[in-house]
A and B are shown apart, each in its own frame.
Chain A
Amino acid sequence: MGKLLELTNVHSYYGHIHALKGISLHVDEGEIVTLIGSNGAGKSTTLRTISGMIHAREGKVILGGTNITQHEAHVIVGMGAGHVPEGRGIFPKLTVQENLDMGAYTINDPKLIKERMELVFELFPRLKERILQYGGTLSGGEQQMLAIGRGLMLNPRILMLDEPSMGLAPVLVDVIFDTIKKLNEQGTTILLVEQNALMALSIAHRGYVLQTGEIVLTDDAEKLKKNEMVQKSYLGIE
């Protein structure tokens, strides 16, 4: 099991705001790794830096042995890193089917697109019922399913999920987390960003704790769950 993704001393900025201050982390093939931390810690920025939506000013991002630090986002997707962004990023005025089509934008074989779409519908039968509905008219949970489904259309080597549980009813959160686990069992490597640290740590193999742009702690998920600092700050246990 090699390292699929590796960040070394990554610094990212928004203008003058120094959002990531030397992040180093790695995700091995087949793992579920979670990134936890409070609001504004830099979790989303980490994912954005990996997927090329913003570029690191310092440090290196390696995906499958290739240095992708300065690659454009649309190139990185093609290299096997899927990113389901915070807030889902559904195209509100494209139908469910068209949204999934967009997920397969770089595929030219219509048969393959259809196959992948069927797999997504197996995972989320609800999407199939809403196939001709506009993305913007779906409920929050359905939009999250669509966002994940869309991210799976290219069959990525690593799927990065940014707060998939945000704004969802507990039942739906369970559905989403079960799906993530299932995907991982089928071979997809997962990098999961969550504020719901307890849920995240219960399905992850390892985790990193982020605080104001720096990694302050990393360990196996089981051990993080028992860590006093984590319990106090992120699990609400005194």
Chain B
Amino acid sequence: MKQFTSNPFYKFILFPIGQMLVFILGASLALSLFIILLAFLFRSNVTDFDLVERTLLILPQVLINGITIGFVYATIALGYTMVYGVLEFINFSHSEIFMVGGIVGVELMAYFDHTGALQTMNQYVVIGLAILLGMVISGSLAVTIERIAYKPLRGAPRLVPLISAIGMSFFLQDAVRLILSLTTGEFNVILPNFGTFDEFLILAVPGIENPLRFQIKSILLVGVTVIMLVGLNYLVNGTKVGKAIRAVAQDRPSASLMGINVNLIISITFLIGGALGGAAGVLFAIKATRLDPFVGFFPGLKAFTAAVLGGIGNLTGALLGGLILGLLESFGASYLSIFTNGAFGAEYKDILAFAILIIVLIIRPSGLLGQTVAQKA
């Protein structure tokens, strides 16, 4: 067993992917069973169609949508949770770092469109370049923000840097709005139309009436985030820098006595979190197709929620929390109106998701995979 677990292929490829699969299957299964049970219970209330049948009919698609958005939340949530793990501080400007990544990515694609290169380039190269640029810009932005707005406040009471972070959020929103208005005249950015991302990959599964429809966008999104999550796992658990990040998170003064440059490690943490946020921004933009400087707010809030749900400071928890939140949201959007005869529409999906969050936190205040404060000491 010991030899098996120390095999790098197992440790850094199989294990994290297996863990993701377990989370996806586990969360999907639990929610599916729950909704099917509800369908049976409410069956007699609905007369114009068979509730159970309708529930099962759309279930696969609901799961696919939920998992897709769940991966976006998970990727953003990692930025919150990494910074929290190291500094015990909520970086509220992370939602704007995400937004900047998305806008920069879209602007790059718009630039390719403008020069006419877009239609001749390979669509995956375009996306790859946009993601890369989003990561670089967001990562550097996160590092810069930390240096300017958080580092000088490191000794201050905990609320002070928090307020600085909220201020930074507003500043970034308005700065982006200003720059966009000055350069393009309006502050919406729209993804140029190119490639086959809107098309569907259709998979007929025997035993399921409707074939499964995977939008190419969604496959791309899940694929890229999985690669990034595997990479992050390797970085944190397999490299010297990762070990230093964990050491700084556990005991900052001790880490400095080991010869670790704590400030550098904190910067690297912001760099990684910011880069993940930037990549998530570009992927989100491909799905949303239209962004403005305020677009970071809701995904940011939900990702933060996901981080708390999973247990803030815990990387695996961010993944689990993101997936659960994405699934809850997708279930809410699809089933609320069916189950309530239209009384509550899809717009109540967030209420459902947050209600469940609150229940979970009442039962487990430290989050699903979080530790109690006593354990942490």
Contact = CB atoms under 8 A, between A and B. Distances in A.
Interface in B234-269: 240, 243-244, 246-247, 250-251, 253-262
Interface residues of B, number: 17
Interface string A73-112: 1100110001101000111111000100111011000000
Nearest to A103: B258
A102 B247 CA distance: 8
Given A93-B246, A94-B247, A102 B255 contact: yes
Given A93-B246, A102-B247, A85 B259 contact: no
Nearest to A107: B259
Interface residues of A, number: 25
A105 B250 contact: no
A94 B258 contact: no
Interface string A49-72: 001110000000000000000001
A73 B256 contact: yes
Given A94-B247, A101-B243, A106 B254 contact: no
A82 to B, nearest CB: 8
Contacts of A51: 257
Contact of B257 (A77, A92, A94): A77
Main secondary structure of the interface of B (DSSP, over half): helix
Nearest to B248: A91
Interface string B313-341: 00000000000000000000000000000
A105 B254 contact: no
A91 B253 contact: no
Interface string B253-290: 11111111110000000000000000000000000000
Contacts, number: 62
A154 B259 contact: yes
A78 B257 CA distance: 9
B247 A91 contact: yes
Contact of B260 (A83, A85, A105, A154): A105
Specify which of B243, B250, B255 lies most central, judged by the most chain A CB atoms within 10 Å of its CB: B250
A93 B253 contact: no
Contacts of B258: 74, 77, 102-103, 105, 150
Contact of A89 (B243, B244, B254): B254
A150 B259 CA distance: 12
Specify which of A51, A91, A98, A106 lies most central, judged by the most chain B CB atoms within 10 Å of its CB: A91
A53 B253 contact: yes
A91 B254 CA distance: 8
B261 A94 contact: no
Interface in A158-174: none
A106 B243 contact: no
Interface string B132-174: 0000000000000000000000000000000000000000000
Given A89-B253, A106-B259, 17 more contacts: A52-B256, A53-B253, A73-B256, A73-B262, A74-B260, A74-B262, A77-B259, A78-B259, A82-B257, A89-B251, A94-B243, A94-B246, A98-B243, A101-B243, A102-B244, A103-B258, A105-B258
Interface of B: 240, 243-244, 246-247, 250-251, 253-262
